[in-house]
């Protein structure tokens, strides 16, 4: 995960907005060149290599560099069989994300919109430079497959009895507790403690209980490889293996786990199943 301080964002954002309106092959102005010097080097210029030692696994190497396995697999196609060759070298990026080839004349804003990341964070991760043929998109999990259908066509319910204000949205956000930019894998919906939390679609309870930073968590597996997660609950009203219908009460809003807002809220996630596990996608509420 890339974490940038709030002060860094304030420095980068005005410059980022300037470049977002230019064509990909436009030459930067003198002001842009001056400000660019305060940015870190582009992530793709900071790739390193790791020589595989006997007994190492993809997961162990990823942990060594504070990465997830999906990041290593995305940068190293030879790992997609799940096998490591002792003595071979693999590419290590500086933080989690993917390398993508972009069409000509794409702007940073267009790329950010496509991958659902903050344009200013994307801009800084690429050295505050004009868009090139290959760019690094931070915080996006590499996956060999994409959902065949949209979540909105399958998960038609709402996780609370009534529409609620969003305390923190999906994607790259500023954590109000730390002032750092973090990737938020769901949405936080403000609601009083004790408010009923309900399934957005029919499914089977895959998990119900306490789960670290999620606090009290309910996970529901739905049709076509979709999953929803309901976190920070006060009370859990279902059990693992139970079949639930859309609108069925799963528990109540609480304040358990590690929360990004002091106000009571439901942390709600939508994920899809891939060969790398359950990958987060933006909820459509």
pLDDT tens sequence for the chain (285 residues): 333 333 333 223 322 332 332 223 333 333 344 444 578 999 999 999 999 999 999 989 999 999 988 899 889 877 876 778 888 899 999 999 999 888 888 899 999 998 888 899 999 999 999 999 899 999 888 876 656 666 777 899 999 999 999 999 987 777 787 777 667 889 999 999 999 999 999 999 999 999 988 999 999 999 988 999 999 999 999 999 999 999 999 999 999 998 888 899 999 999 887 655 677 888 988
Q: Which helix (H) or strand (E) holds 152?
A: helix 151-154
Q: In whole angstroms, what is the distance from residue 230 CA to residue 78 CA?
A: 36
CB 254 within 8 A of CB 215: yes
- Torsions phi, psi of 269, nearest 5? -125, 150
**Residue 60 DSSP class:** H
pTM: 0.57
Q: Angle, nearest 10°, between helix axes 108-115 and 6-20?
A: 120
Strands (E), 163-264: 166-168, 171-174, 181-184, 187-190, 196-198, 203-210, 216-221, 226-236, 243-244, 249-253
Token pair, residue 35, equals 């400000």
DSSP codes, 51-104: EPPTT--HHHHHHHTT--HHHHHHH-GGGGGS---TT-EEEE-SSSEEEEE--T
CA dist 164 → 221, 242, 266, 283 (Å): 23, 27, 10, 14
- Asked if the domains at 48-92 and 151-281 fall in one CATH topology, the answer is no
End-to-end CA distance of the chain: 26
Overall fold of domain 48-92: Membrane-bound Lytic Murein Transglycosylase D; Chain A (3.10.350)
CA distance 193 to 254: 5
Cβ-contact 268, 230 below 8 angstroms: yes
> Domain limits of the chain?
6-44+96-138, 48-92, 151-281
Q: What class has domain 151-281?
A: mainly beta
């Amino acid at each position: 995960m890339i974490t940038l301080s709030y002060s860094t964002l304030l420095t980068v954002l005005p410059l980022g907005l300037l470049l977002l309106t230019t064509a990909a092959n436009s030459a930067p102005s003198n002001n842009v060149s001056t400000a660019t010097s305060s940015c870190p080097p582009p992530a793709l210029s900071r790739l390193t290599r790791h020589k595989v030692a006997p007994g190492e696994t993809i997961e162990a190497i990823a942990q060594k560099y504070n990465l997830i396995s999906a990041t290593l697999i995305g940068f190293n196609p030879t790992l997609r069989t799940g096998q490591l060759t002792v003595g071979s070298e693999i590419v290590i990026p500086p933080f989690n994300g993917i390398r993508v080839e972009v069409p000509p004349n794409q702007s940073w804003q267009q790329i950010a919109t496509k991958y659902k990341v903050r344009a200013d964070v994307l801009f800084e991760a690429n050295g505050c430079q004009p868009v090139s043929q290959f760019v690094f998109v931070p915080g996006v999990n590499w996956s060999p497959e994409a959902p065949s259908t949209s979540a909105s066509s399958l998960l038609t319910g709402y996780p609370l009895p009534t529409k609620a204000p969003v305390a923190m949205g999906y994607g790259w956000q500023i954590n109000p507790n730390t002032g750092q930019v973090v990737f938020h894998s769901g949405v936080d919906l403000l609601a009083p403690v004790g408010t009923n939390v309900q399934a957005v679609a029919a499914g089977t309870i895959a998990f119900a209980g306490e789960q670290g930073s999620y606090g009290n968590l309910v996970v529901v597996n739905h049709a076509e490889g979709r999953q929803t997660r309901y976190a920070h609950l006060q009370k859990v009203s279902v059990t693992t293996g139970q079949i639930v219908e859309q609108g069925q009460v799963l528990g109540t809003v609480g304040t358990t786990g590690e929360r990004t807002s002091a106000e009571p809220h439901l942390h709600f996630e939508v994920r899809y199943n891939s060969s790398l596990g359950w990958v987060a996608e933006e909820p459509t509420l």
